[in-house]
Structure 1
Amino acid sequence: MTLSRRTVLAGGAAVTAASGVLAAQRPAASNAAKFGLHFAPHEGSFASRGGRIEQIAYAADQGFTAWEDNEAATRPVAEQEAMAKALSSRGMKMGVFVASMPKWSQSRPLLGGNDDAEREGFLADLRASVEVAKRLNADRMTIVTGFLDPKLPIDIQTARVIDVMRRAAEIIAPTGAAMVMEPLNTRTNHPGVYMQTIAQGYAVARGVNSPAVKVLADLYHEQIQSGNLIPTLATCWNEIGYIQFGDNPGRNEPGTGEINYATIVRWLKNKRYAGVIGMEHGNSVKGRAGEERLIAAYRAIDVAAGEGA
């Protein structure tokens, strides 16, 4: 999930609303062509360029048209507003932020468990996130469905998760936004989580049957857990509301692992996917050399996909 939890990348420096306004008004520094899809770097992708607002400006200059910030809900209101203004001024879309986060050290919540208080806490997180989404002009927010209860049958837990997601949909649907449930791998990063595959997320989303509850297809996690990426995307497409990239092994930029991202990008372009693709991974090389390599990696898959279309 969030890069700060995994310590993949260092976070950028905090910024004030005033500095955000100045950076947002900075003219473009290059004529880089826009990418063919809405790839979204995040704070830390271009850490050498300065703080959050400076990184957004730099990303826009390189042709990126979206931005992702998992930790946005934890930032002061003034910083959220400054980020939204910076994105708007550069014509960039806001990707996901995390609306509800498990307590990893405690393996909680158990949304399918016997304790209603844990489900109420989850719903309280969502109510608070509605205002964050409005400030950020975000129409997607990430939720993690917590951990498995080893004492209860999985079918009981699934029924309860569907029930609480229906209640969550009642909170989010009036805003026009959607929660995207993120399946996580258990083999490398997150043992014990409830939702482990895109297919499992699809089953829950179909049970909820609401445009406000969709699946976040993080292809790094899915490659580890199940593989078969394009057929899985195709089968579950109607319930997928957001996509994230990251190569495996290592969870770095495309081209550093085993996933053929050029083929996936070609498939997404053929599907006319217009949503955001979060670049939720690290840079394989530190510093500016790594940032340049990151940009080149996305140019390579974008161009290769275009040539093969």
Structure 2
Amino acid sequence: MKLIPCIEMLYKAEHPAFLDRFRAAQADGFDAVDTWLWRDKPIDAMVDVVAETGVQVSSLCADPRASLVQPAEHATVLGAVRDAVPVARRVNSQLKGAGPAARIILASGFSVPGVAEAEQRANIVGVLREAARIAADGGVELLLEPVHMVIGGNLMAVHAVRQGLDIVEAVDHPALRLLADVYHGAVSGETFAQAFADRTELISHVQVADFEGRHEPGTGQLDWSGLLPLLRQRGYTGAIGLEYLPTLPIDQSLALTRRHLGL
């Protein structure tokens, strides 16, 4: 399995200039990177640096973020997907052979007090079905990311890997897959075995960070020795995204990560 660094976190200390992180990733042997929101990024320059380095953009986030739970925000969600599709197709377009489109990441938004869980789930499934049709028409894949975050006492509606798998399964569209972030799963109380017990074919990307602290594997409480063997056993063939806050200089951080992941 190959590794994909998230350059919103990795390389940031050594390379404050965003585009320089592509070059640093190339120098370390990576051929793809993950990013977050795109509207504040120099897209023309990103196209150029992808062509220069051969380091493609693996993913970017729908921008602006909006709630999948609340119908009043669904038009914003769908507009964000429509706007992101041509960007996702463009960023890698100058690679030899016109590289694959970047995938578009969505999170659920926060649960709504006083609204039944079944109604919230139905709202999420409904808007994701429409979003998946938009993405499919543009030749782009959507990734639903469960995120464990609490603001004002409200937890994200989809915060655990198994919840996310339930949603992706219910939407039942090939343009929607799951981004399984094992850090958020750990915060939600999931073990690796619980998170990846089944339906791994619905997972298109796995991201890692240790718990607690969200730093590199080997700095927290998680036993990483079983993750990759479990994923291989379950048939996962995708990449492993590095979305953590480094505690060490990048060369040492990557070495520690590789050692604990067994890569």
Query: Does the alignment pair 1:300 with 2:259?
Result: yes
Which residue in 2 is equivalent to 1:210? Answer: 173
CA distance in 1, matches of 2:152, 2:137: 34
1:112 alignment partner in structure 2: 69
Contact 1:162 1:208 in 2 (8 A): yes
What SS does the corresponding residue of 1:168 show, helix, strand or coil?
Answer: helix
May I ask how many residue pairs the two structures share in their alignment?
254
Do the aligned partners of residues 189 and 265 (structure 1) sit closer, same or farther apart at CA in structure 2, a change above 3 Å counting? farther
Q: Distance in 1 between matches of 2:115 and 2:9?
A: 40
User: CA deviation digits over 1:60-85, x for unaligned, max 9?
Assistant: 22222321111334313323312432
CA distance in 2, matches of 1:93, 1:261: 27
Is residue 101–residue 144 contact of structure 1 (8 Å, CA) maintained in 2? no
Q: Any stretches of 5+ residues in structure 1 without a counterpart?
A: 1-35, 103-108
Structure 2: tracts of 5 or more residues without a match: 93-100
Distance 1:236 1:270, change over 3 A: closer
Matched, 1:37 2:25: no
User: Are 1:124 and 2:70 matched, yes or no?
Assistant: no
Aligned residue runs from structure 1 range 234-273, under 5 A: 234-269=197-232, 273=236
What displacement does 1:159 show? Answer: 1.0
Which whole-Å CA distance do the structure 1 matches of 2:147 and 2:218 have between them?
A: 22
Q: Do the aligned partners of 2:69 and 2:111 also contact (CA within 8 Å) in 1?
A: yes
Q: Report which stretch shifted further, 120-129 or 253-262.
A: 253-262
Name the TM-score, length of structure 1 as normaliser.
Answer: 0.74
The percentage of counterpart residues that share the same residue type is: 25
1 or 2, which has the higher helix percentage? 1
CA distance in 2, matches of 1:165, 1:291: 37
* Pairing of 1:182-221 with structure 2 (within 5 A): 182-186=145-149, 191-221=154-184
2:23 maps to 57
Offset of 1:246 from its aligned partner?
Answer: 0.6
**TM-score, normalising length: structure 2:** 0.86
Q: Output one character per residue of 1:90-127: Cα deviation in whole Å (capped at 9) or x when no partner.
A: 3x34222111454xxxxxx54333xx431111100000
Secondary structure of residue in 2 paired with 1:48: coil
Superposed displacement of residue 50, structure 1: 5.8
More strand by share: 2
Distance 2:219 2:161 in 1: 23
Distance 1:54 1:75, change over 3 A: closer
Contact 2:201–2:236 (Cα < 8 Å) also in 1: no
Q: What does 1:56-205 correspond to in 2, within 5 Å?
A: 56-86=22-52, 89-90=53-54, 92-102=55-65, 109-113=66-70, 116-137=71-92, 138-186=101-149, 191-205=154-168
Residue 301 of structure 1 and its aligned partner are, at CA, apart by 3.0
CA distance in 1, matches of 2:165, 2:124: 13
Structure 1 residues 254 and 126: alpha-carbon distance in aligned structure 2, compared to 1, 3 A threshold: same
CA distance in 2, matches of 1:190, 1:85: 45
Give the letter aligned to residue 189 of structure 2. S
Contact 2:148/2:184 (CA < 8 Å) preserved in 1?
yes
Query: Quick one: distance in 1 between partners of 2:235 and 2:110?
Result: 34
Which range moved further: 211-220 or 268-277?
A: 268-277
**Alignment partners' CA distance in 2, 1:190 and 1:265:** 34
- Opposite residue 77 of structure 2, the aligned amino acid is F
Structure 2 vs 1, CA of residues 112 and 39 (structure 1 numbering), >3 Å: closer, same or farther?
closer
